[in-house]
Each structure stands twice: as C-alpha cells, then as structure tokens.
Structure 1
Amino acid sequence: MTLGLITGWPVAALAGGVATWWLPALLGPDRSTARELACTEAVATFTEMLRDTLSAASGIEQSVRSACAAAPEAIAVEARRLARRIEDQQDLAAALTSFADELRGPTADIVVVCLVHAIRNSARDLSGLLGSLAATARTHAAQRKRAQAARMQVRTSVRIVTGMTAGMLAALFVLDRSFLSPYGSASGEFVLAAGLAFFAAGYGWLWRMAKPRARKRLLTRMDQVQEPSSWW
C-alpha cells in the first residue's frame, strides 16, 4: 500500500502487498527445514537412548519412560506428553502411536512401528534394530543437511537479484523519475503488470528450487494398523 501511495501506481500497490506477504519466506532463513532436521536428529538420539536402556535389560515401557525424561529439546514437548500418557495408564502402543502422530515424520513412524511390533510380539533383537534405525536416521539427516546447503546458494542468488532489482528501481525513482513516468498511464500499468507477472513466475520457480520436497509419512493412520493375520 505504501509503495502505491509513493508511486501512484495501483499495480505497484498490489505488487508491494504480495511481495510483503511472500518474499520474507523466500528470502529469509528456512526455519521449517531446520526444525525438521533437528527433529530427525532428536529422534535418532531418542532411539539410541531406547537402545541403551533396553541393553541394560529394562522393559520397553521403562525404557520409553527413561528416554522421555532425557529427550532432546527438539522433541521434548512431545516426549513429555508421551510420558504423561504412560503415567495415566494409557495403553503403551496407543501412547506411542499418538507420539508418532505429533512428530509427523517417517523416521518417528519407523521407530514407533518397531516398538509397537515388539510390544505385540516377542522381539528378539530390538536393541540392535533400534541402533540400526538411529544410524540410518543420522545418515538421512546428514544428507538433508548437504542438500540444504545447496539450496542456500539458491536463496543467496535470489537475495542478490532482489536487492539489485529493488536498488535499481529505487535509484531510478529518486534520480530520474521521468524515466518511469510512462508507467503512470493505462498502457504503462498493463506493461508493468506483465513485467511483474514474469518476475513472479521466476520467483515461483526459484521458490520450488529452494524448498525441499515434503516428506510423506510412511503411515498416515498408525492407530488403524493391525498385525497381519497368520496363515496358520
């Protein structure tokens, strides 16, 4: 709106509103991916805690309680809720299912599925399996960190292009406003709208390059998962 008042161009006012809403997410830090990476690493640490407590001959419920008490900060809130459900005598498998639904990540899904299977059946080497899952989770997090570093280069390029474009337009508006005077006409507004549409398309393409693909959960409704029926 401020841009429209300064320039007197309705299209500029509309473009300024869209840019104010959209550009901060594109030019700023990718907090959602950072949270996802932190959560993946936290689940790996949580899984290692479970492995270590199970190796000490503790039961699954006691191991989960101990891991929740020392859960990493990224999943501390969800871990406290899990511990509270166990204290309230909720079924352990159902409590773990709710824990996975709150984390909403494929890594947590795998860990919880293994634990639920161990609760319903006699698991022979659950500690070894949890150790392998933790190592896989850390490897996956390291790969995503490398991919995120490459995407940061795209964000840096977008910042440079945006800064140079905005600086050039500001300089023209201050130093040689007559150069921009044709945009005040109806045909000029149409040309300006077309040019901004091309810019928006380019920024949309860069947005897709800078954003990682959303990871789909392995199990969207874990509480509906049942053990396969036996053939015997």
Structure 2
Amino acid sequence: MTLVEYVSDWVDEAGLHVEEVGYCITFVRGVQPRAALRGLGIEDADIRTGTWNELTDYADSREPRGHYNATTAFSVGEFAVVVEDRGYRGSLPEWQLALSEGTELINVHEVPVRGCQQLTIVENGAQVACVHGDDLADGPEDRPDGLKAVQTEDEELAARLSLLIRSALRPFEKGDEPPEDFEDGWVDLLQVACDYLGLRPAVRHIEGPLLGAAVSLLPV
C-alpha cells in the first residue's frame, strides 16, 4: 500500500507548534500513551489531561519558570507518539532502554539553536541505527572523510534509510523549489521516521484532550 504524502502540519503552527523551539519525538510500537509516559519516568500522579495549549501553559506556569516542558503521548495506529516540547529524555540511552524493552522505537531529536536533527532506531534496548542531520550535506552515502552518514551495521537497513532520506530532502525555505542537491537543502528526519514506520500523524490526532505532564528540564 502506498502512503499518502507526508505533511508536517502536526508539528508546525497548525498543530503542536514545536518546530521553532525544538522537540524530542519518540515513536514506540505496541505501547499505550500512559505506559509510554511512565517509560520516560513520569509518575501517574503527574499525568494530567488537557489540550496541548493547556499542557504547555501549565508547564510554563511551574516554578522555577522556564525549567519545565510540556510532554504528551497519543496513539497513531499501533504506536504511541511521545512529544517533548524542548525536551530530550527520549533521546537518552537510559530512557530508550526502558521504552524499547520488548519492542522498537524511533526517536527524532531536534535542537534549533544547533540547527540539526538526529534520528535513532532502538530495538529491545539496543541501538540499531543512527543518523545525524549534520552528516547529510553530501547525501546518505559515505562521507568524504570516510565515516558513514547512516550509522548501522545492517546493510539492508542502511539502504532503506538512504532511500527515505533522499525522499525527505527539503528546501531551506518553505515554498522554494525542491533542491537538486543535498548541500542546497535539508533532510527532514521526522519525515524519514514516519516513512520508515508507515505512519501519518495528523492534526486530528492532537485536536482533543491529550495525556501529558510538565516535566523538569533539569538532569535526573
């Protein structure tokens, strides 16, 4: 079955509006949203229900101001999608181990101030692939310095990710012509993750009340 075209409105202004501030998004197969939040170390007592705006407002109101982020989890198909506004927990190996036990996950971490994304695929606590957006200026094949742009020991997986990376090449400015070369654009690794999993998150998945929490940005 051919997937419909990927649309990023679920993370931009029409949806969660996290593209400008950065995010950590984790897709976990076969896990319910509440269990996914627990897997990030969030206690049941701290989980609340509200719209995304209500969750972000609550996080912004916590003291000390600026030290909490909104985190939510919702279902898309058989996956729990965990979104951390300005967060990072889902990108850390210790939390990936907890979330991926007995299953698989893909995490995409974006830090706008660094201007980069990172994609990680983890199966049952073991990392099987990693892609750094900074390494894709020459495309998904091996870099001029001899290092691999797609870091994995699985050749079939590397080939599959390379194809998806080529499909996710975007212009630096929305509305511009599609770039002909990797140095003239950027790769949306969030699209790569969704294409890899066969998922199409949409605004409709986040329009109603969501499970979420205000999570400390300080190290735990």
Structure 1 or 2, whichever has the larger Rg, is 1
- Determine which structure has the larger strand proportion and give its number: 2
Question: What TM-score do you get using the length of structure 1 for normalisation?
Answer: 0.23
- Determine which structure has the larger helix proportion and give its number: 1
Greater length-normalized contact order (CA 8 Å, ≥ 6 residues apart): 2
Question: What TM-score do you get using the length of structure 2 for normalisation?
Answer: 0.24
